[in-house]
Homo-oligomer: A and B are copies of this chain.
Amino acid sequence: MEQSLKKIEVEFLEYLKKMAAYNEALSLIFWDMRTGAPKKGIDQRSEVVGILSQEVFQMSISEKMADFIQALENVDGLSEITKKSVLECKKEYERNTKIPKEEYKEYVILQSKAESVWEEAKEKSDFEMFRPYLEKLVEFNKKFIGYWSSIQSATNVGNKYDLLLDIYEPGITVKLLDETFAKLRKNIVPLVHKITESPSKPKTDFLFKQFPKEKQRAFSLHVLKHMGYDFDAGRLDETVHPFAITLNRGDVRVTTKYDESDFRTAVFGTIHEGGHALYEQNISEDLVGTPLCDGTSMGIHESQSLFWENFVARDYHFWVYFFDILKSYSTEQFRDVSISDFYRGINEAKPSLIRIEADELTYPLHVIVRYEIEKGLFNDEIHVKDLPAIWNEKMEEYLGVTPKNDGEGVLQDVHWAGGSFGYFPSYALGYIYAAQFRATMRKELTNYDELLKTGNLLPIKGWLNNNIHQYGKLKKPLEILNDVTGEGLNADYLIQYLEEKYRMIYNL
């Protein structure tokens, strides 16, 4: 490689490091604002966020960035990390520069306005109030799709909606999702009906007893430690909306919230966020300071949190080890509860209206409703004005429940108000990926159930580290899936898992 090229590569990596530094500062600000920043400082702090975000955004679309991309794209002799970093930057650059500046500015203002209108509309269950904003957001995104259709780096190119999916889940297309989600729906809907009709319901009263917050925290920490979450590279704090956040790979924090009359909120919430955090704590050190030092997609990220939350912590064997420990932290609430009643209780499934409160069986159906609507919107088959009716029909059809009002229906999620279209499918994809990973893992770690039974979770963590975490964004989601499982997206594993588990729990 020529000297001059080497020099450009070094400069490029320095430039990326600077962007990473700004992002780290922004992440800390975000974390701080949600874990105890005094309220009178928030306005000024928001200005700081604006200034730093603008700075990073400018760096991503600068002439300098364009020069880097041009000089380093498709050049021999660069490291794989540099090559793939260039591609990441190009994707960002193209997306961000295709939209005319003025239009993007208008859009950002609309987003922020729409979010606050949405909040009020949801409160009042008044869809008409939110409708004009949602219409404009959809129109903008349709225009963006037009601009983006010429992007070389987009990996999905069949359906218009593919260009939105590509933002969150590169490689995933409408074609693939139609097939996969249809199969999932076809299998889960009848199962949900059956459990609804089953006379054999789990007991759940013991779940809702007083469990002191400090004890919940202590138990959550106990589990996180067993999972291999590194407390020298993280911490657990309290927030209203739990999240995991990476400042850098040596500082990946989780937050949780506590409900003293339902310990599941904190315990499963912490394990879920812990799953996200394990991913980011274990990305290869070589990727630090590049855009590759991140989860490869929303879906793969969600596969990690759901793996731990559902496939580990909602598994019977996990509680063989942890139930006694949970008892030792709790007061008297489980005294007369058998482990199998406990297991059935925490796995109660029933159709409900709110996605984020849904159990693991019905959850995918909530996502499928949203997917079908988004796809319809961007293919001009559904109009915004008809959303409440369509929403309610689909909920009735798939879950057998109908919202009493739009606040608990079409207005429940913030995503659309923020202009995030194409994001929802990742939630279900994560679940499907996770079930596929689980099937492979159980072949390779043949003592899987034994590991859970003995609280020996580190081999599971190690397997995820080796097969998934270390790569960061070096591999695309479907590439990881293929490398690990030897096949593409396949809902069968999730279906089989849910069938087996829920037939057993509900005595079907």
Choice from B24, B48, B250 contacting A42 with Cβ under 8 Å: B250
Asked whether A17 lies within 8 Å of B47 as measured between CB atoms, the reply is: yes
Q: A320 near B: Cβ within 8 Å?
A: no
Asked whether A251 lies within 8 Å of B40 as measured between CB atoms, the reply is: yes
What residues on B are CB-neighbors of A249 within 8 Å? Answer: 41, 44
Q: A452 near B: Cβ within 8 Å?
A: no
Asked whether A45 lies within 8 Å of B235 as measured between CB atoms, the reply is: no
How many Å from the CB of A17 to the closest CB on chain B? 7
How many Å from the CB of A30 to the closest CB on chain B? 11
Asked whether A247 lies within 8 Å of B21 as measured between CB atoms, the reply is: no
List residues 10-47 of chain A with CB under 8 A from any CB of chain B. Answer: 17-18, 21-22, 24-25, 28-29, 32, 36-45, 47
What residues on B are CB-neighbors of A22 within 8 Å? Answer: 52
Q: A232 near B: Cβ within 8 Å?
A: yes
What residues on B are CB-neighbors of A47 within 8 Å? Answer: 17, 21
Asked whether B44 lies within 8 Å of A288 as measured between CB atoms, the reply is: yes
Choice from B29, B51, B251 contacting A44 with Cβ under 8 Å: B251
Looking across the interface, which residue of chain B has its beta carbon closest to that of A40? B250
**Given A38-B251, A248-B41: A21 and B52 interface contact (C-beta under 8 Å):** yes
What residues on B are CB-neighbors of A52 within 8 Å? Answer: 21-22, 25
A47 to B18, CA, bound (A): 9
Choice from B18, B40, B41, B235 contacting A38 with Cβ under 8 Å: B235
The 6 residue pairs across chains A and B that have the minimum distance between CB atoms: A41-B251, A40-B250, A41-B250, A44-B248, A40-B233, A21-B51
15 additional A-B pairs beyond A17-B51, A38-B231, A41-B247, beta carbons within 8 Å, are A17-B47, A18-B51, A24-B45, A25-B29, A28-B28, A28-B29, A28-B32, A38-B232, A38-B233, A39-B232, A40-B251, A41-B233, A41-B249, A41-B250, A44-B250
Binding site for B on A (CB under 8 A): 17-18, 21-22, 24-25, 28-29, 32, 36-45, 47-48, 51-52, 230-235, 247-251, 253, 288
